[in-house]
Amino acid sequence: MRTRTWAVMAAAAALAGLTACSGPGSADTEERLHGETDRASYSSAEGVSGAADIAVTGPVLGVRTRECDEGGDTATEPAVDPPAEDGVDPGPDPSATGSPAPTATPSGIAGDGAGGPECVPMVFLKVRVAAVVKPGFGISGGDEIVVGDIDTDKVTAEGTTPLVVGRRYALYLRRMTAPDHPGITSVPTFWIPVGGDQGVFFLNKDTVRPASADIVALTNAEAEKKLGAASGTSRPERLRTTVAGLREAAKVAAAGQRASAHRAAKQRRPSHTPGPPGRP
């Protein structure tokens, strides 16, 4: 796992896991907000699976609410858009509802209104779990969860791919509860993608592709091999796989975590120093 600096706007510390920053702006202008933070970077599905609390597949059903979080300084990094071939879902979910207007809070929904100078827009989306890739917290198929994401209708952010209503994704997520996000009041518990768009995968008809070009392999070993073979400034092609492949990568990550926990437990055990040998 590498760490790099990239621009991002998030629920301040929530999405980034660190301190994010914002510039001035409000819902009354067309200004875009920018920010910068250090965030872990992954190169494989195994890597993001190991960092996630759960991983699921399913469609985005609609917007639950919008709310603003605090920020800080400005930056000038551009937004990163998904590849053109990933822009349209070949099999959108028919039960999904359209997203409200970018500048309006959905009717009848609680939450902060237009943001002030230190207000960073966030959007909270309803996602129906179709299948579980990495189990956790009792989440199962058919459940509806809330995923927090940067509101890209109002915010420019590098390393962020907007979650589109009606589209299907595989999402690697971390759970956030009220103590984790003091700046968010309308949603007590929600989930955030691991590492920005590194935790977002597009589900197409026959393939699964990561939103981030950083994800080049299913396992850490495969990614290390591909990155080591890359010449000069070239980079391996981003991963193409299936949901079954993601499940296998999750199993590899879980096995690695169990092995690490076992080694750590052995190291914590007090060593036994034998006493002097007894007399015959």
Q: Give DSSP secondary structure letters for 158-216.
A: TT--PPPTT-EEEEEEEEE-GGG-TT--S-SSEEEETTGGGGEEEE-SS-EEESSTT--
pTM greater than 0.85 (yes/no): no
Helix intervals (H) in the chain: 13-16, 45-51, 220-229, 243-268
Length of the chain: 280
Kindly state the average pLDDT of the residues 116-142: 90
What is the C-alpha to C-alpha distance for residues 141 and 274, in angstroms, rounded to an integer? 54
pLDDT exceeds cutoff 70 at 214: yes
Average pLDDT of span 18-32: 34
Distance CA 60, CA 62 (A): 6
Which pLDDT does position 277 carry in this prediction? Answer: 64
Segment 149-177 shows an average pLDDT of: 91
Q: How big is the chain by its Cα radius of gyration, in Å? A: 21
Q: Determine which of 13-27, 66-80, 88-102 has the lowest per-residue pLDDT on average.
A: 13-27
Exposed, middle or buried, 151 (CB in 10 Å: 0-12/13-18/19+)? buried
Indicate left, alpha or beta for 237 from its phi (over 0: left) and psi (-120 to 50: alpha): beta
- Residue 2 token pair: 């590498």
Question: Residue 20: is its pLDDT beyond 70?
Answer: no
pLDDT of residue 229 exceeding 70, the answer is: yes
Task: Report, as an integer, the average pLDDT of 100-110.
Answer: 43
Per-residue pLDDT at 84? 53
What is the average pLDDT across 118-142?
93
Please report the pLDDT score of residue 159 as a whole number: 80
Task: State what percent of residues in the chain have pLDDT above 90.
Answer: 48
Band (pLDDT 50/70/90 cuts) for residue 80 is: very low
User: Residue 135 above 50 pLDDT?
Assistant: yes
CA 32 to mean position of chain CA atoms: 21
Type of residue found at 136 = G
Can you tell me the mean pLDDT for 214-229? 95
Instruction: State residue 191's pLDDT score.
Output: 97
Does 73 score more than 50 pLDDT?
no
> What pLDDT is stored for residue 87 in this prediction?
57
User: In this predicted structure, what is the pLDDT of residue 31?
Assistant: 38
Residue 12 predicted with pLDDT over 90 = no
More confident residue, 83 or 181: 181
Q: Is the pLDDT of residue 236 over 60?
A: yes
Q: Distance between CA 5 and CA 22 in Å, rounded?
A: 15
